[in-house]
Chains A and B, each alone.
Chain A
Amino acid sequence: MMSTPVADVRDVRIAAGDTTLVDGLTLTVGAGERWGIVGPSGAGKSLTAAAVAGLLPPGTTATGSIRVDGTELVGTSGTAVRGRGVALVAQDSAVALHPLLTIGRQLALPLRRHQGLDRSPVDELLAAVDLPPELARARPAQLSGGQRQRVALAGALACRPRLLVADEPTAALDPPVARALLDRLDRSLTATGTALLLVTHDLGVLAAVCERVVVLAGGRVVESGPVPEVLAAPQHEVTRALVDAAQLSVPT
């Protein structure tokens, strides 16, 4: 028997007032699968990721069906699935983390919120993203950008969600730090069997962690398939432009 898809997105339209931002989106993420969403700025990548995490911004509405871990999200606030079903890592954890709370206290928050634990294995969470236990006493401003993204990843994985939604998690990091975070993400997902929905406009990032990809342009899916096939023979001009951009950044 097939297990329930982690995310089952059917014919979704996302609009702000009369403006359609995403249209006709269908996407099924199976257990443990790793999907990337790529496309140019304004294609609807982040909105799609937010919708799957049940975190659509105010003023936007979705129609169609978004089932995460079997629960319908369209028309709900999404709180039913966040934590154990789906968790989000945003682009810039400098704003996602509370500036005054120590790292240890903010890592304990999702555990308490979603599982009602009294004592939280903060040390274990930090160790799982290669950070030393002393960091639990530090505040976000003392951490580097790469350390902050690791903390955000640790927090997102704290409740062992079935799906991790990551919106440009390495966009604010320089290449060596980005590469290390992607390696860490790869190992964490493998260890926990968590599925991934990753938003990026960098095909290098996509190829490093994802197996399958949907290419969005103007709010619609223009191409999708296994990553190696799409990169080897891009069909749409947007995909070709993204492949060219990825090649530009590689020294010869």
Chain B
Amino acid sequence: MTATFALDGVARRYTVPGDRPWRRVPRTALDGVDLTVPAGRDLAIVGASGSGKSTLLRLLLALEAPDAGTVRFRGDVVTPRNPGALRRDVGVVAQDPGSSLDPRLPVGASIREPLECLAVPGDHGARVAELLDAVGLDPGVADRRPAGFSGGERQRIALARALAARPAVLVGDEPFSAVDPTTRGRLVTLVGDLARASGTQLLLVTHDLGIAQRLCADVAVLDAGRVVETGPVDAVFARPTADATRALLDAVLRVSVG
């Protein structure tokens, strides 16, 4: 079966601030990444800040082109100019629903937008109501604007929008980190349940190892622009082989409870 994503020798370089406010120096964000994401296997991408997680995600979503190597989605090379089936078949939930939802649009219109852009057949109004219901919100809220919702509710709306066109893959870029911890657990469960019910493959970028393990079967560990370890999440966390994986596991702040 064709892999959902296949990266071959992918490299990406940027410039970052230098020793004077007006100077910039080159930095390698990704340094020859080979990564295969088989169809149907939920994958968590973990790593410290600066390890290249966000760059990898922008390349996977064909928002940027690599400086070297290729990114394939279901066998086809994808680039920003030629994203192929990517835009239709991949839904994205960003970290901060406060900035990812258009503040001027009623939330129903935000959820409806991908249906219209992708010319999805069917009754869009009914689909919006169905989606709001699926993420645990009253369909009657469709005409309210994002400012009237809590952070957790806004992330539910972003989830509804990402799933609107029934994508084959749901990509989450730290989708839980800006959500209040008292509602985070329910949102994690919701994402897992909805993905399973609709057969959507999950690709989750996170620094929360507990959530990675609860939602995904596989994990890829990034360190200094390279994939240093991949495999089934339980096995990798139980017997890490890379120093970077051990450092991430050691950094988990454990709470002893009764």
Contact = CB atoms under 8 A, between A and B. Distances in A.
A250 interface: yes
Interface stretch (B3-11, B29-37, B165-173, B245-253): B245-253
Contacts of B209: 175, 249-251
Contacts of B182: 40, 238, 241-242, 245
A245 B185 contact: yes
Nearest to A179: B251
Interface string B65-85: 000000000000000000000
A173 interface: yes
B256 A251 contact: no
Interface in B218-258: 237, 247-258
B41 interface: no
B125 interface: no
Interface residues of B, number: 38
Interface in A156-204: 173-179, 182, 201-204
A252 B153 CA distance: 28
Contact of B17 (A141, A238, A248, A252): A141
Interface string B195-214: 00000000000011111111
Interface of B: 17-21, 48-50, 150-151, 180-185, 188, 207-214, 237, 247-258
9 contacts: A40-B183, A138-B19, A202-B181, A207-B253, A228-B256, A245-B185, A251-B237, A251-B249, A251-B252
The 5 closest A-B pairs by CB, nearest first: A204-B253, A245-B181, A232-B258, A241-B182, A141-B17
Given A174-B207, A241-B181, 19 more contacts: A99-B21, A139-B20, A175-B207, A175-B209, A175-B251, A176-B247, A179-B250, A201-B181, A207-B253, A208-B253, A242-B182, A244-B185, A248-B185, A249-B211, A250-B209, A250-B210, A250-B255, A251-B249, A252-B210
